[in-house]
């Protein structure tokens, strides 16, 4: 039996979220926010944390700087139940990355200092550790610059080890959307972009055309659409699952939480509509507290939420 249900290789850092920021960021003025949270960030780490919170056995490979913010991020993952034995601390000038999120009512600015995010290389990957699982997941494809060029081989290896795989591209900071992503998709079982990313990668602004193109490349395509829920395409079959209606604190990490909810069921062999429904539960739940993991790390709150949803 494999040691883990899911292994993930990717970035690990914190999010610093400011709420109630003025719409216009006037230079040289002292601008006031009315709320702040420093919390676990990074798509890969949020997926890992929330999968573990949902009872999935998760192994995580990453690198951080030898600094306090990296340590806080690492501790959060560990407390969440993720195996962090293969997270490396890199001594050197670079610190752990940090994402600054300025939440202005319904929209936000997102500024990432990459730090050690770009320093995760193939030398950091213990392939036997990553392959000791039933499923491999990669998030933030365009941020894995130290791995780029090697990701195709990585997916090939995980597939040849008999594992299923998933990929969440997230945003491309360069807005170029190329690379060997299309090649890699040949080795991906579940592709999890949001609507904007799906259109960018497919090279068409029409969602139906984007779905038609991308769904020919992967067995299961899931397109996340925020408060509008998700669409999924499996061959000729179309599925839809609505988002929950909740009081939203922020949507930070909602897509990553969706991935965690979906994958927690997928690795148990659950049918696709139920995987989508669990994705929406997890994505929605994440919006009810700050950042991507604050809701999930409150055990009593989490258990009460998922119990009450099951009863409905």
Ligand X SMILES: Nc1ncnc2c1ncn2[C@@H]1O[C@H](COP(=O)(O)OP(=O)(O)O)[C@@H](O)[C@H]1O
Residues at the contact surface with ligand X, assessed by CB under 6 A: 194, 224-227, 229-230, 243-244, 246, 248, 251, 254-255, 258, 280, 283-284, 287
Q: Give me 110's structure tokens.
A: 């997102």
For ligand X, which is the closer residue by CB, 80 or 193? Answer: 193
Per the document, the length of the chain is 312
Q: Which residues have C-beta within 8 Å of that of residue 7, sequence separation ≥ 6? A: 58, 59, 60, 61, 129, 130, 131, 132, 133, 135, 136, 137
Query: Whole-angstrom Cα distance, residue 101 to residue 61?
Result: 25
162 burial via Cβ count (<10 Å: 0-12, 13-18, 19+): exposed
292 binds Mg ion (CB under 5 A): no
| Six token digits for residue 165 | 């795989």
- What's the closest the beta carbon of residue 107 comes to Mg ion, in angstroms? 16
80/253 with CB nearer ligand X: 253
CB of 47 to ligand X, least distance (A): 11
* CB 170 to Mg ion: min, Å: 5
- Pick from Mg ion, ligand X, none: which does 280 bind, CB < 5 to 8 A by kind? ligand X
Nearer to ligand X, 146 or 229 (CB): 229
Cα–Cα distance, 42 to 178 (Å, whole number): 22
Q: Which of 59, 255, 284, 292 binds Mg ion (CB under 5 A)?
A: 255
By a kind-dependent CB cut-off of 5 to 8 A, residue 227 interacts, out of ligand X, Mg ion, none, with: ligand X
108-114 long-range contacts (CB < 8 A, ≥24 apart) are: 108/250, 108/252, 109/25, 112/143, 112/173, 114/143, 114/145
Q: Please list every residue from 158 through 177 that binds Mg ion, using CB under 5 A.
A: 170
Nearer to ligand X, 147 or 230 (CB): 230
Task: Collapse the DSSP code of 195 into the 3-class scheme (helix H, G, I; strand E, B; otherwise coil) and give the result.
Answer: helix
- Specify the pairing of strand 98-104 against strand 230-234: unpaired
Count of Cβ atoms closer than 10 Å to residue 177 Cβ: 17
Q: How far is the CB of 234 from ligand X (least distance, A)?
A: 17
Closer residue to ligand X in complex, CB, 80/255: 255
DSSP code for 38: E
Kindly tell me which of 70 and 253 has the beta carbon lying closer to Mg ion: 253
Residue 243 interaction partner, one of ligand X, Mg ion, none, beta carbon < 5-8 Å per kind: ligand X
Q: Which is nearer to ligand X, 79 or 228 (CB)?
A: 228
Output the residue with the shortest Cβ distance to ligand X. Answer: 255
Please state, in angstroms and rounded to a whole number, the distance separating the CA atoms of residues 268 and 259. 14
Buried b (16+ CB within 10 A) or exposed e, 116-129: bbbbbeeebbeeeb
Residue number, nearest CB to Mg ion: 255
Minimal distance, residue 1 CB to ligand X, in Å? 32
Shortest Cβ 141–ligand X spacing (Å): 12
Shortest CB 138 distance to ligand X, Å = 14
Which one of ligand X, Mg ion, none interacts with residue 94, CB within 5 to 8 A by kind? none
Query: What is the contact surface with Mg ion in residues (CB under 5 A)?
Result: 170, 255
């Amino acid at each position: 039996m494999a040691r883990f249900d899911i292994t993930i290789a990717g970035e690990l850092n914190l999010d610093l979220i400011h709420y109630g920021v003025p719409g216009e960021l006037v230079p040289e003025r002292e601008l006031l926010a009315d709320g702040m949270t420093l919390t676990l960030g990074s798509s890969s780490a949020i997926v890992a944390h929330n999968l573990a919170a949902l009872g999935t056995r998760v192994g995580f490979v990453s690198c951080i700087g030898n600094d306090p913010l990296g340590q806080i991020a690492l501790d959060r993952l560990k407390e969440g139940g993720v195996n962090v034995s293969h997270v490396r601390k890199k001594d050197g000038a670079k610190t752990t990355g940090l994402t600054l999120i300025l939440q202005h009512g319904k929209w936000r600015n997102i500024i990432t200092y990459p730090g050690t995010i770009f320093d995760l290389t193939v030398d950091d990957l213990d392939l036997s550790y990553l392959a000791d699982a039933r499923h491999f997941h990669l998030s933030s494809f365009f941020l894995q610059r130290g791995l780029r060029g090697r990701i195709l081989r990585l997916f090939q290896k995980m597939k040849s080890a008999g594992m299923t795989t998933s990929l969440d591209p997230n945003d491309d900071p360069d807005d170029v959307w190329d690379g060997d992503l299309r090649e890699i998709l040949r080795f991906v079982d579940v592709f999890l972009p949001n609507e904007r990313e799906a259109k960018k990668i497919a090279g068409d602004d029409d969602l139906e055309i984007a779905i038609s193109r991308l769904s020919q490349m992967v067995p299961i395509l899931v397109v996340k659409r925020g408060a509008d829920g998700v669409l999924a395409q499996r061959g000729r079959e179309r599925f839809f699952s609505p988002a929950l209606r909740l009081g939203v604190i922020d949507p930070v990490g909602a897509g990553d939480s969706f991935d965690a909810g979906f994958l927690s069921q997928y690795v148990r062999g659950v049918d696709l509509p139920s995987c989508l429904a669990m994705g929406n539960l997890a994505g929605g739940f994440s919006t009810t507290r700050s950042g991507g993991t604050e809701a999930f790390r409150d055990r009593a709150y989490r258990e009460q939420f998922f119990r009450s949803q099951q009863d409905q």
